[in-house]
Structure 1
């Protein structure tokens, strides 16, 4: 066989680059700056009720836009929708410069900016999921660690800018910095442009040879000719094609707005994914962790801690979170040996034990130790969400699954957040509310273990059923 024939017989497949331009697309979203609204809250006379309403609007807008990302990507490209998201974000940020009423502030910060954030969050994780396979955990760690480091210094930076340029001037400068999102979207090139070509081993099947070549030594043995089979298949395809054509014509005539919506939204995925641990379970854990984080300072004040002790506690919790993110970057090549669900369960166990430990002791040093370890669970619960979803669904379903998670997370925050707040007010006890939050982690752990055991046993039973079928045949 000549070299040319060997080259012709070689087969290749295209796989994600697992790096390359993916690092550029990932790095484009690392820069972000938070904005401190304390002075604006004072000017607009916004109390706790208005701030709570703003948080609810923020959560709902991010949830809805994140959910609609998947359907919209069926009519738009990733970069087109990314440009729309960047426009909403920058319009909301720049519009805040001219805010002089609560209504305008809710429109700019609550509606416009968070619609863009919801789109961009889902798009960013979808791009990472497309570009990375083996190094996905490393990419997610880097993407979420560097902004966490920046967040440690951004408040001081913003305060310096406000003192130098004034409140409105600082908003203009920060709006200009925030325009990097347009550049970031431009760097999100389609993964098809950077796919790697990998050779597929050419394994010849002896069974196919028996179908293609008729044995001339024994004419009495019946042989199936592939050409005859092809004719039958072609005839069936022609008949089926005529029926499909008739159905397509009928469908085109009856297509409506409802039909377009049903085509855009993956209802089958929604029915199966929304009630799974990777869907509803992640949303419950994210809600429980966020609620505890918001409640932590008030809980410590209720335990008669001083302001310095509370500040130290929050700092140590953030320190544990940051160190864990860095460790994920360093040990990502070793952690890929484990399923992301297993790592996530470890984080949930830490979340339960550290919260119970914090409530079970009165010594300040002991509680600070638990809060530092709690940062490890916080990092695991939040950072591994895209990784767990990516392993639970097919690659082409990731964007829709991520949107379903974001929608579930938003609705759970809106519905159960006030309930936990009401329980705290009625009982006048922060520990009661924390016990309820901790029970959310416990319920998810229980159902997740049951699911993992069921899948493991189901996997073991498969070879036995296949062997029994072969024996019967």
Structure 2
């Protein structure tokens, strides 16, 4: 059978029909796309071929059988696809999509990679003895490659000036992280109803607005609404969307494209603290926060690149003249229609969110989701304990800062390397995940049993390599085992579990530390979480089922 796939576009009477037919005349149901009514979804644009219909209800009807889950990143896909150059049918625009996703990650993380050692020093000086559980929650994601917050350089002076209690600050920060993670559950349904560019554009605009509103906040509770709830939800949409979009646009070169996005994370991480500190010193809290909102607004440029150019042929166009006396009634009818459409879209999004949970009937999805929950919360809490564990061992705070920097550098380098290696036909996703979780567990445990600062730095470098390896193929692993059509559902459920773990496991670790009066036991528990993730990955199937083995490529 020929690998060439014919693409048909037809627009008649406001409806776009899109399907794929093999050259031998066989119609492939697995690649049939939905009909999109242009006039029924708030004027939404025609979806691209990559925005395939996700039938979670059909997935649920298959029970726990994983055979219905297609895999679009098999070895056959890596070795074939020369017709499209290893990219999607929109190959001429796919690398522009990578540029847009990279710019999104760079902007969002340059605004939020602001938490550093200075915060711990400043809070300690201002309040004296601080509850370790509170500082644990405030210091997560210290110079790491995933979720972070602006409490450090931007909001610490504001909160200290208002004499905000540690409980209130903990609530603000925990709500931010929960909203950030749980918003991943909404990305797939929103993209399905609209498209990548619209969702990214609105999220970028609202993210910028959250900073601007936070600049004029006069109380911690206003900051909770503007930054934690509004901002946290939009920030999570942007980051999840950047991870989701790459597997949809690429088949053969997914690893390289994903590495480009990871590079955006590293760039944002490096320039963010420097930029924020400079703006805060030069323009104060209000001016600096407003300017950071303006910087974040540039993410709209990246969002504008997240839609490929479509070659559409309009076969039926007509112009209908409206009589003057019927214009008034037409306006009333249009208003009712818009209201009806808005309600219908809202209900459709809610329905899709609920049906996304049916993906957990798959054993692969359960392993990925629970493994992500354990791994993320293990290293998020561990990196938060580092400053206190190092100082408890008798070393200065500068030594703790060096340990974190070493882990961040190793994290970024390994993340880029592993992401690009994933394009190799002999690369094993299961082996990489098992190795990374094993390294995280072993290095976390080893850190608690050594006291020499040089050995601690070496161990932190190994730990950074483990985290970087896991994050480098985080989204690619889901696409490999679940297929692109279940990618958004699996990632959304995983992110929700991570958010729930953040507000439950974190305080438990703080309680263990207070009860034992030692960081050693807390670190052992975190090492155990990563070890449990390693055990889960042992039960991941070695082979994957797929419905088609060749990427979709148009005839030019």
TM bin (shorter chain): 0.7 to 0.9
Contact 2:432 / 2:470 at 8 angstroms: preserved in 1?
no
User: For residue 416 of structure 1, what is the aligned residue in structure 2?
Assistant: 505
CA RMSD between the two structures: 2.9
Equivalents in 2 of 1:179, 1:149: separation in Å?
A: 17
**Unpaired stretches in structure 1, ≥5 consecutive residues:** 1-8, 195-254, 460-473
Worse-matched range after superposition: 183-192 or 342-351: 183-192
- The CA deviation string for residues 128-167 of structure 1, in whole angstroms up to 9 with x for no partner, is 1111222222222221233323422332222222222222
User: What SS does the aligned partner of 1:401 have?
Assistant: helix
Residue 152 (1) aligns with residue 152 (2): no
User: For residue 178 of structure 2, what is the aligned residue in structure 1?
Assistant: 60
Equivalents in 2 of 1:323, 1:100: separation in Å?
A: 41
Pair 138,419 (structure 1): closer, same or farther in 2 beyond 3 Å: same
- Give the counterpart of 2:529 among 440, 443, 457: 440
Residue 278 (1) aligns with residue 355 (2): no
Q: Offset of 1:267 from its aligned partner? A: 4.1
Q: Which has the larger radius of gyration?
A: 1
Equivalents in 2 of 1:342, 1:332: separation in Å?
A: 13
Residue 313 (1) aligns with residue 403 (2): yes
User: For residue 161 of structure 2, what is the aligned residue in structure 1?
Assistant: 43
- The CA deviation string for residues 43-94 of structure 1, in whole angstroms up to 9 with x for no partner, is 2323432332122101221233211222233332222222332232122111
Q: Offset of 1:429 from its aligned partner? A: 1.4
Residue 358 (1) aligns with residue 475 (2): no
Q: Offset of 1:333 from its aligned partner? A: 6.7
Equivalents in 1 of 2:422, 2:365: separation in Å?
A: 31
Which structure 2 residues correspond to residues 56-455 of structure 1 after superposition, within 5 A?
A: 56-190=174-308, 261-262=350-351, 265-272=355-362, 276-328=366-418, 331-332=420-421, 335=424, 337-452=426-541, 455=542
Equivalents in 1 of 2:214, 2:308: separation in Å?
A: 33
* Greater helix fraction, Structure 1 or Structure 2: 1
Q: Offset of 1:111 from its aligned partner? A: 0.6
Contact 1:274 / 1:404 at 8 angstroms: preserved in 2?
no
Q: Offset of 1:336 from its aligned partner? A: 5.2
Worse-matched range after superposition: 160-169 or 14-23: 14-23
- Give the counterpart of 2:102 among 17, 23, 27: 27
Equivalents in 1 of 2:232, 2:346: separation in Å?
A: 27
Q: TM-score, normalised by structure 1?
A: 0.74
User: What SS does the aligned partner of 1:99 have?
Assistant: coil
Equivalents in 1 of 2:347, 2:267: separation in Å?
A: 46
Q: Offset of 1:377 from its aligned partner? A: 0.9
Equivalents in 2 of 1:256, 1:98: separation in Å?
A: 33
User: What SS does the aligned partner of 2:502 have?
Assistant: helix
Contact 1:317 / 1:375 at 8 angstroms: preserved in 2?
yes
Equivalents in 1 of 2:212, 2:189: separation in Å?
A: 28
Contact 1:26 / 1:139 at 8 angstroms: preserved in 2?
no
Q: Offset of 1:292 from its aligned partner? A: 0.7
User: What SS does the aligned partner of 1:188 have?
Assistant: coil
Count of residues in correspondence between the two structures: 387
User: What SS does the aligned partner of 1:31 have?
Assistant: helix
Contact 1:85 / 1:120 at 8 angstroms: preserved in 2?
yes
Equivalents in 2 of 1:260, 1:149: separation in Å?
A: 34
Equivalents in 1 of 2:416, 2:352: separation in Å?
A: 42
Q: Offset of 1:327 from its aligned partner? A: 3.1
User: What SS does the aligned partner of 2:307 have?
Assistant: coil
Equivalents in 1 of 2:294, 2:418: separation in Å?
A: 32
Equivalents in 2 of 1:336, 1:106: separation in Å?
A: 47
